[in-house]
Amino acid sequence: MSYSGERMLLSSQRESRVSRFRFWVMLVVPLAALLFQIYVPLFFRFLSFLDLPLLVVIYLAVMRRNPVTGLLMGAAVGLAQDSLSKNPLGMYGIVNTLVGYFAASIGMKLDVDNLTMRLLLAYFFYILHQFLYWIMERALLRHLPPFDWQHWLVLGILNALVGAALFHFLDKLRVTA
């Protein structure tokens, strides 16, 4: 497994490769990400900026290159996050659904094995995730969260970096043809 460092866009559909994962991977990896999200910050509070469930969704959606799978994965992970938070069920669910869908859709056009692309995708979808959640809070919860875009940009970079490493790790779990 090697990152292609020359091209970011695929010239044809045939060049895109659908990564396959075992079922337990599709199940355990999101659960592990959720567990990390709720457990690790208890001991390492500074790690609370990480959004591992989101990064897992982005990765699985991009690599699966199937919007339906991506959105279902996003929905499942998002609802699980909602269940473990004080938010009403559906807040993270809707946002992650949209992220999973768009990630899968974009992943079909891009060379998702490219490192830079992975960084950009992780960064972009993290920002998108934050923005959508901000809108959802305002629209549905009638909250007035601050539009802290600078904070988002910084955290986006951090998550993108962590995501790139995570993606590299998850690549090990792909089913080789």
Partner 1 sequence: MESFLNRYRNITVLLLTILAQLVLLSLQVKNDQDVRFIRLWTVTAVSPLAKLVDALRGGSIGFVRDYIRLHDSDAENRRLRQEVDRQKLEIVFLKNQLNTADRAGALQLFQAKIPSKTLPASVIMMGLGTNSMVFVDQGSLSGVMRGMGVLTPDGILGKVTTAYPTSSQVLLVTDPEFAAGVVSGKNHARGTLKGYDGHLCKVDYVAFEDPVEPGDWFYTSGDDRMFPSGFPVGVVKSVQPGQPFKEITLQPSGMARGLEDVLIVLDAVHQEIPDTPPGSQPVYVAPPPPAAGDAEVAIPAAQGAASGTEADRLKAAYKASGDAQGHTFGDDAPHSKPPDFSKVPGAGTGPAAKAPAPANPAPATKDTAPEQKRPGGGQ
Q: Does 88 bind partner 1 (CB under 8 A)?
A: yes
Q: Does 94 bind partner 1 (CB under 8 A)?
A: yes
Rounded (10°) CA dihedral 125, 121, 164, 114: 170
Q: Does 106 bind partner 1 (CB under 8 A)?
A: no
Contact between residue 59 and residue 163 where contact means Cβ atoms under 8 Å apart: yes
| Segment interacting with partner 1 (CB under 8 A) among 22-30, 92-100, 120-128, 167-175 | 92-100
Return the CA Rg of the chain.
16
Rule CB under 8 A: which of 123-152 touch partner 1? Answer: 140-142
Residue type, 131: F
Of the pair 66, 159, the CB lying nearest partner 1 is at: 66
Distances in Å between the Cα of 149 and the Cα atoms of 25, 59, 126 are: 34, 24, 12
Q: Which of 17, 40, 47, 90 binds partner 1 (CB under 8 A)?
A: 90
| Min dist. Cβ of residue 145 to partner 1 (A) | 15
